[in-house]
Amino acid sequence: MTNNYVLSPQELDALGEISNISMGSSATALSALIQNKKVSIKTPKISVINRSHALDDYSEECIIVHINYIVGLDGGNILLLKPHDVLVIADLMMGGTGENVENRVVGDLELSAIQEAMNQMMGSSATSLSVMLSRPVDISPPETGNIDVESVKIFERLFEAPNNDMVKVTFKLKIGNLINSTMVQLYQLDFCQELIGIFMNKIKLTGNKQKITKEDKNILCID
């Protein structure tokens, strides 16, 4: 099914900058939880998709993390992670090496660990958004769970509709030599347009980059 909405170059530029800076601070927060391993969350690829195709990058199972904004923004987003990546992160958080997780399954312990990791990461991301948007931004504790991918795909495509557009942001996720993967972030289209609108109203994107003070850089964890 063809999407009716296309993000403009200015909207793509704005969302790319928002994603890069907010996930950059998230990477710093995650590193502190996993024995200071080097974490990279970069190169967002942005597209508009129908909701029924949200899980196309995953097979069998994925881990869903729902984040809801309670201050500053009206809405939320969803993060999708691969089970292997969750197992590695959870093992590192519990003092392990992050290796030899192939034969394990994601259980309550791992879901609890990734929930705490995402709470720290998205809390840091909210702080970055607060700086970028010049308004307080805060989240509620994330909710996590397992998804049976094929069952959800079948259900969603039975009820596919042209007005179910979502914005999909795909990041490259690297953690040392343990993870070289992707992480997907999903926004409702109207929430994404609101976020972009606030950002573009604050920052003139007519060829000028955002002016970030030295104090802001310290908060955002960027050089």
pTM for the model stands at: 0.85
Give pLDDT tens digits for 176-202.
Answer: 999 999 999 999 888 998 999 989 888
Q: What does DSSP say about strands 165-175 and 75-81: parallel, antiparallel, or unpaired?
A: unpaired
What's the mean pLDDT in 121-141?
92
Residue 69, H or E segment: strand 61-71
Pick 219 or 113 by higher pLDDT. Answer: 113
Length of the chain: 223
Give the CATH number of domain 9-207; options: 3.40.50.150, 3.20.20.140, 3.40.1550.10, 3.40.50.720: 3.40.1550.10
Q: What is the mean pLDDT of residues 59-64?
A: 90
Q: Which amino acid is at 25?
A: S
Residue type at 73? L
Q: Are 191 and 76 in contact (CB under 8 A)?
A: yes
Whole-number mean pLDDT of the chain? 85
pLDDT score, position 161: 60
pLDDT for 51 beyond 80? yes
Rounded to whole angstroms, how far apart are CA atoms 190 and 45? 19
Task: Choose between 21 and 108: higher pLDDT.
Answer: 108
The rounded distance, in Å, linking the Cα atoms of 62 and 104 is 14
Both tokens assigned to 7: 């993000």
Q: What residue ranges do the domains of the chain occupy?
A: 9-207
HEC readout, 72-97? CCCEEEEEEECHHHHHHHHHHHCCCC
- Asked whether the beta carbons of 158 and 152 are under 8 A apart, the reply is no
Query: Tell me, what amino acid is at 206?
Result: T
pLDDT in tens, 111-123: 999 999 999 999 9
| pLDDT tens per residue across span 35-47 | 999 999 987 899 9
Nearest Cα to 102, choosing from 91, 87, 82?
Answer: 87
